[in-house]
Every structure is written in structure tokens, then in C-alpha cells.
Amino acid sequence: MAQDVHSAGALNGRGAVATLTFLGFTLQLLQVGIIPLLPTIGRELHVTPGAASWLVTAGLLSGAIALAVLTKLADLYGKRPMILVSLVLVLAGCVLGSLTSDFALLVVSRALMGAILPMLALPEAVASDTMPPRRAHLTIGAIHAGNGAGVGGGLLLGALVGVHPAAWHVFFYIGTVMTVAGVAATLVFVRDSPFRAEGRLDVTGAVLLAAALSCVLLGLSEGPVWGWGSFSVAGLLAGGVVLFAVWLLQAARARHPLIRLSAVVGAHVRVPYLVTFLIAFGIYGSLTAVTRYAQAVPHLTGYGYGYSALRTGWFALPQTLGGVAGAILLQRMGRHRTSAVAAGTGSALITLSFLGYLALHDVPVLTMTSLGLSSMGLALGLAATQLMVLRVVPESESGIALGISVVMYAVGNSFGSDVVGMLFSGMRLPGGLPRREAFLTSFWLCGGAALLAVLLCLWHLRARPVAALRPTEEPA
């Protein structure tokens, strides 16, 4: 059981709450905002769509390495310093991207910006370590509301910038300004966690884990492009599995391992990590598939709304409102229920949203309503699973523990995107566009993953009744 959060005292106040929430918003804005711009950047720099996708892949791979290293260093040497290191790397990437029109340098820029991925773990860990229970609970919910708003804001920003193809540098200008604001606010308002882990950085373990994650994520992200039967994809996936096995053996023998194996496979964290994976797998269809469906031209495909990329950007509105609603619901539920109930409720909302997509996908307003439910469930479910983890791990290991949660989210998202991508590739109309059945099948599969997450939470509640709640789950 973790140490009492009250032992840290009320180190951080309202300014820190706003700052940590802003960091969550910035993370998703910079991660998602580049996606609508990929076709524009590809045309402007004369690269193929497959090559342009490396602007996403590079950030994903560097983010995996940053997670393996920075979250552990945060536990050893301080979470606030590692937040600042992460932001400085992102700032360097934004500045480089705003100055260059060379595609290779742009990939380097996105790789540097991938260092922002630990912001899915470190702000929540700071809140848990340095705030009274009720404020910590509220802040973690607010951070995830910021994440949801960032996804919506990123979609809208990319759509707006893409209206003027030659102005794609504006995305990096905005990223530069927001990152500078994040650095300044962190320096002024955020105080560091007083808890430190023992030992030192396990360099060998960090290299092995980063290499394993990079192989798996690269194989999953490039599988649809290179072909799932290709030697390159098979080699990457097999190599990732082998490296992961070697890392497990090394971690079992290391005096100060990068991650204690009990933190990965222990009974107290298996359920929240699996629920995170399933939510991430399922949530893919609620954004990419829905926006793609909206842009389909009815007289060519027999389905869709014929929306332009800019008009589809208004899907950002239910994303934002849903994230805020999820944070409010988390705060209200936290006073009377365990985090497992909140995680199950969030997964149930995502399941309900997919039922809405299946039954009401031809009605734009109702589809947007389902999108709002999905975003609400995502904010509630992910925040709740992180609270489940924080409830049982020591504060000195909260950074790496939440880092594992982010890894599960990234891998689940990659699996979900690949499954949906295979459906779109395998179920095609004569002109090459996906058939309606591809969308419906993806909704069934993604909804099924969310439903499985609900069942896991119910099993967890029955198998492990909570005798006492951690202070982050108690009322004030």
C-alpha cells in the first residue's frame, strides 16, 4: 500500500492545477494536430503518404523511449525537473519544425516533440504526490479533461491550418508558444514531489525496454503500409518479443531494475493496465473511423455525409465537451465509489457510444452525440485506471507506474488502429474506398473491447472488495 498522500502536505495549489491541466491539453493538441495536416505537408514537400506518416511514427517511437527513461528518472531525481526536460525537448522540436521545409529535418522535429508523451503520466503523478486527496482527485480528472479538449483542439487546429496549404508552419508556431507557456507556468506554479526512489537508472534495462517498444510499435504502425506478411514487419514484431523477453530476464536479476516486475504483473495492477489497453483499442474507431465516415461522399460510396476536412473539424466540439463532462463525473463519483466503478462506468459509456455509431451512424447530430459519450468515457475511464494504480503503488514509484499505463495505452491504440486499418483495406468498393461494412465491423470490434473492459471491472469488484480506500478516493 502506498504511503499516505497527506504526508506530502499541500505543496501545490490552484496554479499547479491549472498548469498540469494545461500540460495535458498541450500534449494531445501537439500529438493529434499534425494528423489532419499529413496530406497537406506531403503535397507541399513532395513526399508519398507513406513517407508523410513518419511524422506520426517518429513521435511515437521517441515517445516510447522518453517514457522508458524520463518516468524512471522522475522517480529517482524529481518529477518537476523531468517535466521541464520533456518540455525543453518539445520546444526544440517545435522551433525546428517552424524553421525548416526539409522533410528529413521535419521528421527530426517530430521525434523531439515525441518527448511530450510522458505528460500522460508525470502531471498525474505530481498531483497524487503533492496535493491533498480531494484536490489530487479533482486535478487528475481535470488533466484528463484537458486531454480530451486537446484532442478536439488538435483536430480543429489541423483542419483550420490545412485550409491554407502553404501555412502548415503555423502549427509549429502555435506549438512553440504553448510549450514556452508550459515551461514558464511549471517553473512558477509547480512544486516537486518530495518522494524519491532508491537506486539509480538501470541503463541496460532502459535500452532493452526502449528497443523492444520501438520494434513493436514500429511494426504495428508500418504493418498496413509495408504489408503484414512482409519480412520487415515480421522481423520487427518478433524482435520486439525477443527483446522484451530478454528485458524480463534482466529485470529479474538487476539490483535496481528499471521496473519492478511486480509492478507489471502484480494482481493489484493487472486489471487497470488491461482496462487501459482495451479502452485504447476500442477508442480508435470512435475518432478516426467516424471522421472518415463523415468525409465519405454519398453518391460515390452509398454512405457518409460528404463533409469537408474543415467541416469535420467541428467534431472537436463533442470531443471537448465530453472530456470536461467525464472529469466532472469522475469528481462526483469519487466521493462515493471506488475507482474501479468509475473505470467500469467510463468503459460502459464507450460501449454505449459504439452502439450509437452502429444504430445512428447516418444521422450526423446523433453521431456527434455518440462521439461526446465516447470522449466522456475515455476521460473518465483513463483517469480512473490511473487512480487505481496510484492507490496501490508507493509515491516514489508513481512516475514509472503511470508510465507503464501509458505504454499499455500506446500499444492498445496501435493494435486498434491496425485492426481497423486491415478492415478498411480488406473490405473495399471497386474504387478502392472502404465499404460500409468495414465501418460497422470496426464499431462492433471496438465496442466489444470496451464491453470486455466493463466485465473486467465488474470481476475486479467482486474478486477484490475494497476494505479501505486510498486517500485520493475519499471525500474531503
pLDDT tens track for 268-320 = 788 899 999 999 888 866 677 887 888 888 888 888 888 877 787 778 888 88
Written as one string, the DSSP assignment of 394-407 is -GGGHHHHHHHHHH
DSSP 434: B
Which of the four pLDDT bands, split at 50, 70 and 90, describes residue 93? Answer: very high
Please return the burial class of 189, using the count of CB atoms within 10 Å of its CB with bins 0-12, 13-18 and 19+: middle
Q: Which of 237, 257, 277 is the last residue of a domain?
A: 257
- What was the pLDDT predicted at 466? 44
Which amino acid is present at 102?
A: D
Q: Is residue 237 within 8 Å of residue 216, measured between CB atoms? A: yes
Instruction: Tell whether the model's pLDDT for residue 6 goes beyond 50.
Output: no
- Count the alpha carbons within 13 Å of 219 in the hemisphere toward its beta carbon: 21
Instruction: Tell whether the model's pLDDT for residue 474 goes beyond 50.
Output: no
| The total number of residues written for the chain in this structure | 476
Q: Are residues 246 and 265 in the same domain?
A: no
Instruction: Tell whether the model's pLDDT for residue 133 goes beyond 80.
Output: no
Residue 300 and residue 290: Cα distance in Å, rounded? 17
- What was the pLDDT predicted at 285? 61
pTM: predicted TM-score of the whole model, two decimal places: 0.80
Domain residue limits at 220: 204-257
Enumerate the β-bridge partners of residue 434.
428
Q: Are residues 161 and 185 in the same domain?
A: yes
Residue 158 and residue 168: Cα distance in Å, rounded? 9
Angle at 413 between CA 409 and CA 418, to 5 degrees: 155
- Count the alpha carbons within 13 Å of 10 in the hemisphere toward its beta carbon: 8
- What was the pLDDT predicted at 182? 95
Q: Are residues 345 and 247 in the same domain?
A: no
% of the chain at pLDDT higher than 70: 92
Residue 319 and residue 145: Cα distance in Å, rounded? 10
- What was the pLDDT predicted at 113? 94
Q: Are residues 445 and 298 in the same domain?
A: yes
Residue 202 and residue 159: Cα distance in Å, rounded? 43
pLDDT in tens, 17-26: 999 999 999 9
Q: Are residues 216 and 267 in the same domain?
A: no
Which amino acid is present at 366?
A: L
- What was the pLDDT predicted at 461? 84
Q: Where are the alpha helices (DSSP H) in 284-315?
A: 288-295, 298-301, 309-312
Q: What is the CATH number of the domain that holds 414?
A: 1.20.1250.20
Which of the four pLDDT bands, split at 50, 70 and 90, describes residue 264? Answer: low
Instruction: Tell whether the model's pLDDT for residue 395 goes beyond 90.
Output: no
Angle at 154 between CA 87 and CA 174, to 5 degrees: 55
Domain count, the chain: 2
CA-based nearest residue to 401, from 132, 65, 72, 147? 72
- What was the pLDDT predicted at 223? 76
Place of cell 509547480: 190
Q: Which residues contact 12 (CB under 8 A, 6 or more apart)?
A: 126, 127, 130, 131, 189, 190, 191
Which of the four pLDDT bands, split at 50, 70 and 90, describes residue 355? Answer: very high
DSSP 469: -
Residue 142 and residue 137: Cα distance in Å, rounded? 9
Residue 104 and residue 92: Cα distance in Å, rounded? 15
Q: Show the cell assigned to 117.
A: 508523451
Which of the four pLDDT bands, split at 50, 70 and 90, describes residue 337? Answer: low
Q: Is residue 339 within 8 Å of residue 385, measured between CB atoms? A: yes
Tell me the average pLDDT of the chain.
84
- What was the pLDDT predicted at 100? 93
Please return the burial class of 463, using the count of CB atoms within 10 Å of its CB with bins 0-12, 13-18 and 19+: exposed
Q: Are residues 99 and 176 in the same domain?
A: yes
Q: Are residues 238 and 344 in the same domain?
A: no
Q: Is residue 52 within 8 Å of residue 44, measured between CB atoms? A: no
- What was the pLDDT predicted at 262? 66
Q: Which of 229, 257, 285 is the last residue of a domain?
A: 257
Which of the four pLDDT bands, split at 50, 70 and 90, describes residue 1? Answer: very low
Q: Are residues 242 and 301 in the same domain?
A: no
How many other β-carbons are positioned within 10 Å of the β-carbon of residue 187? 12
Residue 416 and residue 81: Cα distance in Å, rounded? 34
Which of the four pLDDT bands, split at 50, 70 and 90, describes residue 103? Answer: very high
Q: What is the mean pLDDT of residues 421-431?
A: 80
DSSP 191: P
Residue 138 and residue 123: Cα distance in Å, rounded? 13
Q: Are residues 427 and 388 in the same domain?
A: yes
Q: Which of 257, 276, 301 is the last residue of a domain?
A: 257
Q: What is the mean pLDDT of residues 174-201?
A: 91
Q: What is the mean pLDDT of residues 391-418?
A: 81
Q: Are residues 187 and 212 in the same domain?
A: no
- What was the pLDDT predicted at 354? 93
Alpha-carbon Rg of the chain, whole angstroms? Answer: 21
φ/ψ of residue 428, rounded to 5: -120, 150
Q: What is the mean pLDDT of residues 181-195?
A: 92
Q: Are residues 373 and 423 in the same domain?
A: yes
Q: Are residues 133 and 163 in the same domain?
A: yes
CA-based nearest residue to 274, from 49, 53, 449, 31? 449
Q: Which residues contact 417 (CB under 8 A, 6 or more apart)?
A: 220, 221, 284, 288
